[in-house]
Amino acid sequence: MTEASPQPSEKGEKEPRDAAFWAQRIERLEVSDVPEGAANVNVQGRREVGALQGFGKLWQKTYRVGLAGIETTPEEVVRVWKVHFPEFQPPNSRFYPSMAGVAPGEVLFISASVGGMPVYTGVRVIYADNKSYTVMTPEGHPEFGWNTFSAYQDDGVTVVQIQSLSRANDPIYELGFRIVGSTEQERIWTHVLKSLAAHFGVNEPVILEKVCIDPKVQ
C-alpha cells in the first residue's frame, strides 16, 4: 500500500491517505482528446455504471500468475503494466490510453471483437496506486462493473492478478456471454497475464477462479 502525505481538507479534516489514488466524481464521461486509432463510441457523455447495475449474473473472476524465479516487486510490475498496458492485450482487444496514461480519472478507449462482433467502448480509471489500478465501465459497455489489475507478494513470489467484478449489461449481452463472450473474455485476460509474465521472462500457468456472487438476473 502506498503512503500519501495527509493534507488538511477545506473543512479542516485530515485528508485520507487514499485521496490521491481515487478519481474525481463526475456526472458523465468527458473526452477532450481521442488517441490516434481509437473510436470515441459509447464513451463521450456516458454515465459510469458498476456491478450493482446491469442485468446478468454477477461474476467475480480472478486470474493469477506467479512470477516465479525472478526478482521483482509488485510496485515494479504494476509500473510496467501501466506504461505498457496496450502492448499486453491480444489483437482482438485493443486499448488506447490517453496521453496521461493509466492514472486516476483517465479514460482508456477500447476497440474489441466479441464473437466476431466489433465492440467500441471505453473504461475510466477510478483508482490507481503503486500496486494496483481499477477501471470502471460506462453505459453502453457489454458489461457493467470493475476490473482491478494488481500485484502482491506471496511466499517470496510476486503474483500478478486481474480481478473482474461485473455482470452483463442487458439480456442480449447476457446471452452472448453465456454462449461465447465469457470464454472469449477469459482468453483475453489470460493472454494479458501471459504476455505480462513473458515480459519479465516468466512462463507460468494462469490460474482462473470464478465465483458467481449473484446468480439472479435483475
Partner 1 sequence: MTERETDGDQTLHGSLHSLRREYEEIRAIRRTRRIEMPEAQVKMNVRKASEKVSIIDVEGELTAFAEDVLMDAYNQASDGHVRAIILNFEGLEYMNSSGIGLLVTLLIRINREKQRLLTYGLSDHYRSIFQITRLDDAIAIHDSEEEAVRAANAM
Residues found near partner 1 in the complex (CB under 8 A)? 1, 9, 11, 13, 15-19, 21-25, 48-53, 57-58, 60, 126-127, 129, 132, 134, 136, 146, 148, 150, 154-155, 163, 165, 186, 190, 205-215
CB-based contacts of 194, cutoff 8 Å, min separation 6? 65, 203, 206
Alpha-carbon gap, residue 161 to 150, rounded angstroms: 5
Closest among 172, 168, 148, 169 to 160, alpha carbons compared: 148
Give least dist CB 200 to partner 1, A.
19
**What is the grid cell recorded at 175?**
446471452
Q: Please report which residue ranges of 20-160 form alpha helices under DSSP H.
A: 74-84
Compare residues 110 and 193 and give the one whose CB is closer to partner 1.
193
Give least dist CB 99 to partner 1, A.
22
Q: Which amino acid is at 90?
A: P
Q: Which long-range contacts (CB under 8 A, 24 or more apart) does 73-76 make?
A: 73/153, 73/158, 74/131, 74/150, 74/151, 74/152, 74/153, 74/158, 75/130, 75/131, 75/151
Alpha-carbon gap, residue 161 to 207, rounded angstroms: 9
Give least dist CB 195 to partner 1, A.
14
Compare residues 36 and 156 and give the one whose CB is closer to partner 1.
156
Give least dist CB 113 to partner 1, A.
20
Compare residues 83 and 211 and give the one whose CB is closer to partner 1.
211
Compare residues 111 and 163 and give the one whose CB is closer to partner 1.
163
Place of cell 503503486: 130
Give least dist CB 124 to partner 1, A.
9
Compare residues 49 and 110 and give the one whose CB is closer to partner 1.
49
Compare residues 121 and 166 and give the one whose CB is closer to partner 1.
166
The DSSP call for residue 148 is: E
Give least dist CB 60 to partner 1, A.
7
Alpha-carbon gap, residue 123 to 97, rounded angstroms: 10
Antiparallel, parallel or unpaired: β 157-168 and 48-49: unpaired
